[in-house]
Structure 1
Amino acid sequence: MKEKQSIKGYRYVLQAFLMWGVLAIYWKSLKHIGEWELLSHRVIWSFIMLTIYLGITKKNQFKQIWRNKKNRYALLSTSILIGINWGVFIYAVNADKIVQAGLGYYITPLVNMFLGITILKEKLTKTKTLALTMVTGAILFLTLKVGEFPYISFILAFSFGFYGLVKKTIKVDNLPSLAFETTLLLPLAIAYQGFLWSNADSSLNHLDLQSIFLLIGTGIITILPLYWFTKGARKVNLTTVGFFQYVAPTIMLLIGIFVYNEPFESNHIIAFAIIWSAIAIYVYALIVEKRKK
């Protein structure tokens, strides 16, 4: 029974990261709609889908979250961070910078490590120091050789890093907390939609049926992988989840290069090779720590 549960866990986690990896294609199919409008639709439809799901499963924790001052303010900050993360990712896809987005999610675990050291005062081992130094060197190399600082990568990595850091301070399940976050973002999303309608700029006025269904689906593609991840992460150990998290940026990278023909020259290859090596060192450090425990 335990082995079956573990296999289910692997499947759920893998499904989540595979879906997160291919989401670039989904957003690319809505490229004809502005980034801000897409973001507002994602917030609105995520709120609707989450409200329905949590209502059916009776897992709505809105009142409990609101009554707890610490949780309320923590989720206010995470709602801003996830809004930035979603918006920048949509912009990256529409601006043909999927490779940069992939780089952002490659370095996110190392950013988490950096935040743990600087904010939580966690101990830095020699192995982790080496990994961080290598990533820093790779980013500097990429900036100097390509001539462009990967700002999208850093915004995605640090927004998601701080998002995870704040989430660690509260004890609220992922889906109810996301529902609370989308509730906080909802007035802004509705206000922006109202602004578009009042100026006759809303894409809904002239969209085909397929695009409308895709917009509604933005709520599903937001919730479904998170639901799978939440179910799977409970059944497998965190080290395994650490391995799986590199599936999504790898798929993004491949999509950016081979599907949308984004530039990936020798300088990119060198920088990514250094980052992949740093990730291997980081994962090795995690395995050693786990064995010691």
Structure 2
Amino acid sequence: MGRREDTSQAFPHFIESGQQDNQTVVLLHGLGMGYRFWELQLPFLSKRYHLLALDLPGFAGSVSSGPFTMIRAAAATVDLLDKQAIPAAHLCGLSLGAMVALQIAIQSPGHVLSLILSAGQIQPDAQIMEEQFAAMAAVPEDVLFESFINFVPPQYEDLRQAAREDLQQTGKQGLLAAMREASQVRFRQHLRQIRVPSLILCGSEDLVNLEAAQELAETLPHAQLAIIAGVGHAWNLEKPDEFARMVDDFVQQVEHKYKDQRT
């Protein structure tokens, strides 16, 4: 079954792809774009999974819902699963989306089958976050937007235009609000209570997030770590096929484990 976009103006705005009776994977985008951040993974993953990709509160098609907060983003994702009558799903998030996935695992653990966390943070360094916030606040909106658009490789012009549209909907103040919210996360004390299988990913060139990736892998009780050589922060855009395959391989591994436990 092809892609289906929710056009009801309900919150959150989302698309789904793949057969609805397949296992569900929820895709949680990072700071900047909305669900279209995952465009390059949708064709491959929708062959095997029922995909839900949403615009988080305060972003793109969900901007009218008000500013982004971790708690609201987690609640919106869980509400979407409940409305779709999906008891639990595999959660895949990158950067801000990885933090939202962790928030869901803490806030609503029964809705989570596994976690795929790329470039996530546990307790961001206050000085680094303040410097990043100040740098974002200081530049004109169009310059800030271009810095996000440039995460998308030049050969994907349609996706670069999609990024531009999403950023214009979200606006500079929306980005700053989400950045400020992300700087406040304090997940460290909760990590050991997360019992689901977890795949921790990070690009070798994403130096700001390598330490957090290693700590996540060491602290989460059922985690494995993969550092991807030669890529940076938004590496699902740099090596889209490899990212999709790693998600697929991990979810299949988890599903086989759950199947064995049921038999």
Bin the TM-score by the shorter chain.
under 0.3
Q: When you count helix as a share of all residues, which structure comes out higher?
A: 1
> Which protein shows a greater Rg?
1
Return the structure number with greater relative CO, CA threshold 8 A, min gap 6. 1
TM-score (norm 2): 0.25
